Structure 1
Amino acid sequence: MGARPVTLSDGRRGFAKEAPQSAITAEAASLEWLRVPDGPPLPTVLSHDPQRLVTAYVESSRPDPQVAEDFGRRLAAMHSAGAAGFGAAPPGGPELAWFGATRMLNKPVPQEDWATWYARDRVAAYVRQAVDAGSLTLGESAVFDEVCERLPQLAGPAEAPARLHGDLWSGNVLWSHDGAWLIDPAAHGGHRESDLALLALFGCPHLERIRSAYDEVSPLAPGWRGRVPLHQLFPLLAHVVIFGRGYAGQALDAARSALDIG
């Protein structure tokens, strides 16, 4: 996949991304689905074809604490827009989408709870891939098996499916003078704590301000801080699949921390 700034024939500035057709379709559908009243701003899709997506160019600026608070409130509004189920793809998005350079299944089962879906389609699925690739050993996979078995007890209070960005690490928050913009989504229906946990995974400017503003608008369930490692398991396992064993230790630490809360 490649991305670069472009100038269109009418003089508008844009940002072009070249990727497989399924990735283009998934991102275009994600950008449309995540655009909700009072939610975070997202770049407009200017054009897309089977090989290329062009979105409006967004001028970046330094992270600002007031913008961070506004982002927290807007993120809560986006999550509250909801989804048809855990694992639901955006309307028009493919069932087999992408998380970075690895595939991501978005196929909800009616009335299924988050713990069952997350254990099967996010944790266990990526553990299998990592073991098959030799990035995790069979012995190491046992800790993830235990997490999956205990997920109903570890998951916290039941929540309705939220409308997730899905790949909300700090690099996909573009700070601008008019707000914190969301880019490169891997949108699906999931647990709102997952987006917040991913923001924390690699560090995000003014993270506490973001979370405090979010919590004022849409209070988080008791014990959410202890569940952060549980929600970080999927992105960490995806990194193990994509980049190899260098992320295995971090994924194992997150699994052990998740088990500690139970």
Structure 2
Amino acid sequence: MADRARLADLLGQPVAAVTPLHGGDLSEVCEICLADGTALVVKTGPLVAAEARMLTAIARTGAPAPGVIAQSGDLLVMERLVETRPHPAGWAALGAALKALHASTGTAYGWAEDYAFGPAAIPNAPLQNWPAFWAERRLLAWPQALPRDIARRLEALATRLPDLLPHHPAPALLHGDLWTGNVLFTANGAALIDPACYHGDAEVDLAMLHLFGKPGPGFADTYGALAPGWQDRRAIYTLWPALVHLRLFGSGYRGMVENCLSQVKA
């Protein structure tokens, strides 16, 4: 639970109440109410400073995200957004937000700092070649942590990526962990939370968003059409979150990884 004394020092007034919120599997999230009645969200963890920088980068594109109020050590204090159930206008707003996010581009593939999902490292050192980035920084990020047969299949697939992926797609700003649980629907639309940002092919975010379902009505219309051949690339991009789930949550996700590999004949 967040330290009330530290938060009071950081925010300049006492914390009147602390309420746990549903969060991810890798961090603690709570709502705090300050003495003046202001409600805020506090997240604790070793990488919240990096997350604060990512949220700021997202907001600069015009894509909605919780505003960063303060950050110190392992504490991140954010704007409290009131969540609603997913709705058609929200899905349409998400498509527009993601389009704005992806329109912001970098000069290389990667990010200024590495990140992690718990023990699953996310190396982000920039590269100029996209197939090389996807092979070295994603599919082969930690082969020693995977079943040996899966690692061998990934190594074989990595050698084929120059023939399967575009070499120089626009290095779009990616959310990096865009499943529906990291979309917060509000009365005004939809906001992006819990990012793992880097620059890469925009199709990566779309693949993740479709991994455990599909966006609701209105999303595709506001986001727009994908580049020809996206269907052939989707399994390659889905492999990364599937590998992360296998690493974090165990053999129950092996079938997802194998299905992706089979789709690309690896």
What is the match of residue 43 of structure 1?
Answer: 66
Aligned equivalents of 2:180 and 2:117: distance in 1? 15
Superposition deviation, residue 258 in structure 1: 2.6
* Counterpart residue type for residue 42 of structure 1: A
What is the match of residue 6 of structure 1?
Answer: 32
Whether the aligned pair in 2 keeps the contact of 1:156 and 1:221 (CA below 8 Å) is: no
What is the match of residue 137 of structure 2?
Answer: 121
What is the match of residue 73 of structure 1?
Answer: 96
Q: How many residues align?
A: 240
Q: Does 1:54 align with 2:80?
A: no
Aligned equivalents of 1:197 and 1:27: distance in 2? 22
Aligned with 1:54: secondary structure?
A: strand
What is the match of residue 213 of structure 1?
Answer: 222
Superposition deviation, residue 98 in structure 1: 2.0
Aligned equivalents of 2:186 and 2:149: distance in 1? 46
Superposition deviation, residue 129 in structure 1: 2.3
**Which structure's residues are more often helix, by fraction?**
1
Unpaired runs of at least 5, structure 2: 1-26
TM-score w.r.t. the length of structure 2 is 0.84
Structure 1 range deviating more: 41-50 or 244-253: 244-253
Superposition deviation, residue 48 in structure 1: 1.1
Aligned equivalents of 1:223 and 1:212: distance in 2? 19
What is the match of residue 248 of structure 2?
Answer: 242
What is the match of residue 28 of structure 1?
Answer: 52
Aligned with 1:181: secondary structure?
A: strand
Q: Does 1:17 align with 2:43?
A: yes
What is the identity percentage for the equivalent residue pairs of Structure 1 and Structure 2?
A: 35
What is the match of residue 125 of structure 2?
Answer: 107
| Structure showing greater relative contact order (alpha-carbon pairs closer than 8 Å, 6 or more residues apart) | 1
Aligned with 2:185: secondary structure?
A: strand
Aligned equivalents of 1:35 and 1:254: distance in 2? 33
Which of 209, 226, 230 is residue 224 of structure 1 equivalent to?
230
| 1:196–1:256 distance in 2 versus 1, CA, 3 Å | same
Q: Does 1:194 align with 2:220?
A: no
TM-score w.r.t. the length of structure 1 is 0.85
Whether the aligned pair in 2 keeps the contact of 1:126 and 1:241 (CA below 8 Å) is: no
Aligned equivalents of 2:101 and 2:227: distance in 1? 17
Superposition deviation, residue 170 in structure 1: 0.7
Which of 162, 165, 178 is residue 155 of structure 1 equivalent to?
165
Aligned equivalents of 1:86 and 1:54: distance in 2? 29
| Structure with the greater alpha carbon radius of gyration | 2
Q: After TM superposition, which residue ranges in structure 1, 4 or more long, deviate above 6 angstroms? A: none
Whether the aligned pair in 2 keeps the contact of 1:36 and 1:81 (CA below 8 Å) is: no
Unpaired runs of at least 5, structure 1: 90-94, 131-135
Superposition deviation, residue 128 in structure 1: 3.0
What is the match of residue 151 of structure 2?
Answer: 141
Whether the aligned pair in 1 keeps the contact of 2:123 and 2:141 (CA below 8 Å) is: no
| 1:100–1:212 distance in 2 versus 1, CA, 3 Å | farther
Q: CA RMSD in A?
A: 1.8
Whether the aligned pair in 1 keeps the contact of 2:130 and 2:166 (CA below 8 Å) is: no
| 1:10–1:258 distance in 2 versus 1, CA, 3 Å | farther
